[in-house]
Amino acid sequence: MTIHPTALIDSDAELGKGVSIGPYSIVGPKVTIGDGSVIGSHAVIESHTKIGINGRISSFASIGAPPQDLKFKNEETWVEIGDDVIVREYATINRGTATGCGVTRVGNHCMIMAYVHVAHDCQVGNRVIMANAATLAGHVDIEDGAFIGGLSAVHQFVRIGALAIVGGMSGISQDVPPFVKAVAARQGRNRSLFGLNVIGLQRAGMSAPTIDTLKKAYRIIFRSEIPMKEALDKCEAEIEQIPEVRKLIEFIRSSKRGVLR
């Protein structure tokens, strides 16, 4: 374990084996940092935070600060970060709220780039990448393998589906279905979805027949210009119901905010 003499570590904090804490960093009460993690200089892990093994927290990052919610009354809420997560400079990850789920979570093998904001009660899955200055409002759910482009903003209670990619400078106010490419709020564009995230699906190990079946489902659901319920029924009747197609259909049917099209 290596702790710089200028770092401030609360007596209540728990540091694993091989943890490194850089100059002028602060680790507050009720913080657990897993084995092999590296905390850069001037980082603040304020309180009520659990970080898994091999974390990389860069300079001036802020983790575990109170949520930006006027209803918050200093209840005991948490941030939980998984294993092998990179949090870059000036990123902020706030604690949950008592009126939400009480925990803001980031899964394993994620990369949270510079100036990203993860607000209270967000649930970020595994292998998620958020590019510079992407912003999540409260209660956002991001499924495994999604990519959020730089300078994008995601409205509260929105869901981003698995292996979806959101283009930079998007404003996302409805759910983004799994497996798709989405670019929202770009001037002069009358649609938000631009086909499947084929490269991402291939990198995730999805087979060519599975991708072809998803393409057929995509065309029916998003390009047939019929009401969504009819499109989903048609997809179920005409397309092989492999797990990926079922996931796509069930995600849309469970949406409370509606999905981008």
Active-site residue, 120 included: yes
Q: How far is the C-alpha of 125 from the C-alpha of 120, rounded, in Å? A: 15
- Pick from 156, 165, 143: which is nearest to 247 by CA? 143
Q: Which of 22, 34, 52, 138 is catalytic?
A: 138
138 is catalytic: yes
98: helix, strand or coil: coil
Whether the Cβ atoms of residue 114 and residue 84 lie closer than 8 Å to each other = no
Torsion region of 145: left, alpha or beta (phi above 0 gives left; psi -120 to 50 gives alpha): left
Token pair 């990448």 is found at: 129
121-125: long-range pairs with CB below 8 Å, 24+: 121/67, 121/96, 121/97, 125/162
109 is catalytic: no
In angstroms, the CA 242 to CA 244 distance is 6
Q: Which of 48, 117, 120, 139 is catalytic?
A: 120
Q: Choosing from 69, 83, 84, 121, which is the catalytic residue?
A: 121
Which residues form the catalytic set? Answer: 120-121, 138
